[in-house]
Amino acid sequence: MASPTPGAPTPPPPPPNALDTPPTNRADPDPQRTPFHDIHVALGAKMVPFAGYVMPIQYPAGITAEHKAVRTACGLFDVSHMGEFIVRGKEACEFLNYVTTNDVGALEVGQVQYSTILNERGTIEDDCLVYRSADYYMMVVNASNRLKDLAHIGKYSASFECVIEDISDATALLALQGPRAAEILAPLTDADLSKIRYYWFDKCSVGGVQHVTISRTGYTGEDGFELYFRNEHGPAIWDALMQTGAVTPAGLGARDTLRLEMGMALYGNDIDDTVTPLEANLGWLVKLRKGDFVGKDVLVKQKSDGIPRKLAGFTLHDRVVARHGYPVFYEGQQVDVVRSGTMSPTLNVPIATAYLPPDGAAEGAKVEVEIRGRRVEGTVQKLPFYKHGTHL
Amino acid sequence: MANVPGDLRYTEQHEYVRTTAPSTVEVGITDFAQGELGDVVYVELPRVGAKFARHDVFGTIEAVKAVSELFSPVAGEVVEVNERLDKEPALVNSDPYGAGWMIRMKLDDAGETETLLTAEAYQQLTG
């Protein structure tokens, strides 16, 4: 058996012993550790370098079992690698409105918003969450984009009365996800979880730790919460959640299969700085009537001209996995490569995404994916692939 | 610690070979290999009658996070494939040396298995 090659066609026969060389951190010789690192290792997690951190991709239960635990009960993810910026100042709202596409002015205190950060070409620098607190905002960005985002939005901040503070290194983030998340968290917090609606947050205690930001958000399609707190509280909060006996630790592998079943975009795969939010089905995050913002002109023009391509989801008819980078064909022409692809653990069929011409992106359209020299047919599906999430 | 049964032979590409009858072997991947791959979701196997030289690609194994080719540990002809893996690929994870076997082959050279790694040698390789 050859060394497994994530997301790429298998190369010719490998050098002997390829598989028993443990994953190394060649790209980053000194990755950061989250406050939960030693806990993951003690649990037997497979640790991999990811976005400058060493993160658990799966625990001994395996991706499928972790995925199913989140769909049916409750999983706990360490996502402390995510970036958090605090934005303060008289013009914090105006500034954030200028560097993101959604309408920050419409946010109430205690509310969260999903949004995108664009460049002047109208393409996506990152996707993010914006939290409005009484006297500041918090932006949550992808770990792999954190420094790029900071430089990018920093360029525009000079024109506004505001200050950006990167608190990522001091901030831990756990995602408690699944239909049982609320009943599991309720006895451990002084928050009234029934008052925290989807995409709202509160600051409360969890497991005896004060000032934990609890938002009803996630990346799985299930009900659940994301908990932000200072690093030093990591073990106390992790242990409080795990001691309930009802929570399954879940890694980045399950996080990826869960979000893909929901058709949720992953930066670097489904979205990047070559696509606009309109092409990526993220037009609902673009508020053209809110005033000027970075990339607006391009989107206004694209809206009137029509989009040349659209991100679509499809299933394959054979039990083979269409992986990131495999060529995708529509009407005999290669139109893109697979952006994201996996075997759906819940639906038990191969699912994938790619950018297709608008008529090819319509439900029921036929596409083909070239997998190891063979064309496999697929059918475009309406997203999400999984339609029974407790939060769609 | 991955299980390495003493009565099997192994390859450096993490296949195992079990002699089931004179000149007939059963081929699969090792416990170590299934652990490295993670949850197997699909195993593409050859047809009965296919002939392979040693090191030829005889199939493909897909896990949630990775895909890998399968290399024939010996030269010979496929006489049986494990049809159960079509519906139950996870057998490769749960029982790699039993129900998770992949193909049975008739050897061209009955002595070829002697040239493969012993359990001890394979253990050293993966230890």
pLDDT of chain A, 392 residues: tens digit per residue: 666 544 443 333 333 333 333 444 445 568 999 999 999 999 999 999 999 999 999 999 999 999 999 999 999 999 999 999 999 999 999 999 999 999 999 999 999 999 999 999 999 999 999 999 999 999 999 999 999 999 999 999 999 999 999 999 999 999 999 999 999 999 999 999 999 999 999 999 999 999 999 999 999 999 999 999 999 999 999 999 999 999 999 999 999 999 999 999 999 999 999 999 999 999 999 999 999 999 999 999 999 999 999 999 999 999 899 999 999 999 999 999 999 999 999 999 999 999 999 999 999 999 999 998 999 999 999 999 999 998 75
Query: Does any CB of chain B come closer than 8 Å to the CB of residue A325?
Result: no
Per-residue model confidence (pLDDT) at position A36:
98
Per-residue model confidence (pLDDT) at position B103:
98
The shortest CB-CB distance from A4 to any of B15, B37, B55 is to B37
Are A345 and B29 an interchain contact pair (Cβ–Cβ within 8 Å)?
Answer: no
Distance in Å, alpha carbon of A3 to nearest chain B alpha carbon: 6
| ipTM beyond cut 0.90 | no
- Respond yes or no on whether the N-terminal peptide bond of residue A384 is cis (omega within 30° of 0): yes
Count of pairs with CB atoms under 8 A, one residue in A, one in B: 89
The shortest CB-CB distance from B13 to any of A1, A5, A343 is to A1
Kindly write down the DSSP assignment for every residue of A229-263, as one continuous string.
EEGGGHHHHHHHHHTTS--EE--HHHHHHHHHHTT
Q: What is the pLDDT of residues B81-127, one digit of tens each?
A: 999 999 999 999 999 999 999 999 999 999 999 999 999 999 999 87
3-class DSSP state of B124: helix
**Chain B contacts in chain A segment 152-211 (CB below 8 A):** none
Phi, psi of B115 (to 5 degrees): -85, -5
User: What single DSSP character describes residue A382?
Assistant: P
Query: Does any CB of chain A come closer than 8 Å to the CB of residue B69?
Result: yes
From chain A, the residues in CB contact with B91 under 8 A are: none
**Of residues B122, B111, B44, the one with CA closest to residue A16:** B122
Distance CA A218, CA A198 (A): 10
Average pLDDT over residues B60-77: 93
Query: Does any CB of chain A come closer than 8 Å to the CB of residue B32?
Result: yes
The shortest CB-CB distance from A10 to any of B33, B69, B126 is to B69
The residue ranges of every structural domain in chain B are 11-114
Distance CA A266, CA A144 (A): 11
Longest dimension (CA), chain A: 62
Distance in Å, alpha carbon of A1 to nearest chain B alpha carbon: 4
Query: Does any CB of chain A come closer than 8 Å to the CB of residue B88?
Result: no
Only one residue has tokens 């989140």, namely A70
B58 → chain A, closest CA residue: A1
Distance CA A133, CA A110 (A): 6
Phi, psi of B27 (to 5 degrees): -125, 140
Per-residue model confidence (pLDDT) at position A29:
65
From chain A, the residues in CB contact with B57 under 8 A are: 13
**Chain B contacts in chain A segment 11-30 (CB below 8 A):** 13-14, 16-20
Per-residue model confidence (pLDDT) at position B127:
76
Query: Does any CB of chain A come closer than 8 Å to the CB of residue B125?
Result: yes
Per-residue model confidence (pLDDT) at position A344:
96
Categorize the per-residue pLDDT at B66 as very low, low, confident or very high, splitting at 50, 70 and 90: confident
Are A64 and B13 an interchain contact pair (Cβ–Cβ within 8 Å)?
Answer: no
Are B64 and A345 an interchain contact pair (Cβ–Cβ within 8 Å)?
Answer: yes
Per-residue model confidence (pLDDT) at position A4:
56
Per-residue model confidence (pLDDT) at position A3:
60
Mutate to test the interface with B, among A1, A257, A346 (most CBs of B within 10 A): A1
Are B67 and A46 an interchain contact pair (Cβ–Cβ within 8 Å)?
Answer: no
Strand partners, A32: A53
Per-residue model confidence (pLDDT) at position A20:
37
User: What is the pTM (predicted TM-score) of this model?
Assistant: 0.89
Query: Does any CB of chain A come closer than 8 Å to the CB of residue B20?
Result: no
pLDDT above 70 covers what percent of chain B? 99
Q: Torsion angle, CA of A61/A64/A65/A69, rounded to 10 degrees?
A: 140
Average pLDDT over residues B27-37: 95
Q: Which fold has domain B11-114?
A: OB fold (Dihydrolipoamide Acetyltransferase, E2P) (2.40.50)
From chain A, the residues in CB contact with B66 under 8 A are: 4-6
The shortest CB-CB distance from B67 to any of A64, A323, A345 is to A323
